[in-house]
Structure 1
Amino acid sequence: MIPYRNELILALIWVAISGSYSIPNLVFGFAIGWIVLFLVRDQRLATRTVIRPWALLLLIGLFIKELLLSALRVARLVLSPRMDIKPGIFAYPLKVDRDFEITLLANLITLTPGTLSVDVSDDRRTLFVHGMDCSDPEQARRDISQGFERRILEAFR
């Protein structure tokens, strides 16, 4: 294992972002990286996340599939002469409990056309989702539970 590998990676990112490819800038980036990692070391050790690459690929594939299917559904709803939709907000009980997992689930829902994550309850057990068509909120809950949430749990636990 390379010592100070994470600090070096952050220093290289700093150099690339700042656009100044000099030794003093690299040293500055290394120092900033060291300070940042020193400050967050307790959080990093407490929240080790297991990443299963195959399950992560399945999650990405599911997102792409849902993105395409929901884009088609939204286009069909918008282009139909009769917009027979029932927009609304429904509460989704969360199985994921880590901040990273809740954020990922909320973002995947928001990035999917026709849905938008609105809020998370204070106890972090409920996600409020706005749906363009909430005619069957139970089906929407099942879709999230058996789709994104299940894949997130498989990928990161």
Structure 2
Amino acid sequence: MNIFVLNVFLAVSWAALVGSFTLANLLIGYGTGYLALWIASPLFGKSGYFLRVWRVFRLLVLFVYDLIVSSLQVVWDVITPTHLSRPGIVALPLDAEGEGEILLIANLISLTPGSLSLDLSPDRKTLYVHAMFVDDPVTLRRGLKSGIERRVMEALQ
């Protein structure tokens, strides 16, 4: 049996045991099942499931952090009389090659306030990003590559 399917089964079983199929109960059940399966992982042999779940969780935490920080930055720029925004378009060279990786990178950038994925080059090696705060294009590129792109590639490999 696939470990992911077993983990989902444990999450649903937890919600049934508690008697309430809410998102919180399903997440608690998933986390509890993940921990139980991790402890019992020698029984399943070699599996990349546990590392992949951890990498997806880190990507989610990074995205939520970026979402909060950029939201506060945009709100501060909007409500204060001095506007600090310096909009610009930056070419982001991509190391990601798969369609899923590129799609997720572009969508996460677009979902973050103050940035928008504009276009992908025909050779799929460069993503053009419009950002609200481009004080230094090199710093912005480095931040996107070491943050979102790296974590997406880790999570999907």
Please confirm whether the aligned pair reaches a TM-score higher than 0.5, indicating the same fold.
yes
In 2, distance between residues paired with 1:60 and 1:95?
20
- Partner of 2:124, secondary structure, is coil
In 1, distance between residues paired with 2:79 and 2:139?
23
- Unmatched 5+ residue regions in structure 2? 2-48
Question: Number of residues paired by the alignment?
Answer: 110
Deviation at residue 85 of structure 1 after TM alignment: 2.1
The TM-score, its normalising length taken from structure 1, stands at 0.66
The TM-score, its normalising length taken from structure 2, stands at 0.66
1:133 aligns with 2:133: yes
- Partner of 1:52, secondary structure, is helix
In 2, distance between residues paired with 1:120 and 1:106?
9
Residue 66 (structure 1) aligns with: 66
1:84 aligns with 2:84: yes
The structure with the larger Rg is 1
- Unmatched 5+ residue regions in structure 1? 2-49
1:75 aligns with 2:75: yes
After superposition, where does 1:8-157 map in structure 2 within 5 Å? 52-157=52-157
Deviation at residue 134 of structure 1 after TM alignment: 1.3
Task: Give identity over the alignment, percent.
Answer: 46
Deviation at residue 86 of structure 1 after TM alignment: 1.5
- Partner of 2:92, secondary structure, is strand
- Partner of 1:116, secondary structure, is strand
In 2, distance between residues paired with 1:89 and 1:137?
9
In 2, distance between residues paired with 1:79 and 1:142?
28
In 2, distance between residues paired with 1:84 and 1:150?
28
Structure 1 stretches of 4+ with a deviation exceeding 6 A read none
Residue 31 (structure 1) aligns with: none
In 2, distance between residues paired with 1:110 and 1:84?
20
- Partner of 2:85, secondary structure, is coil
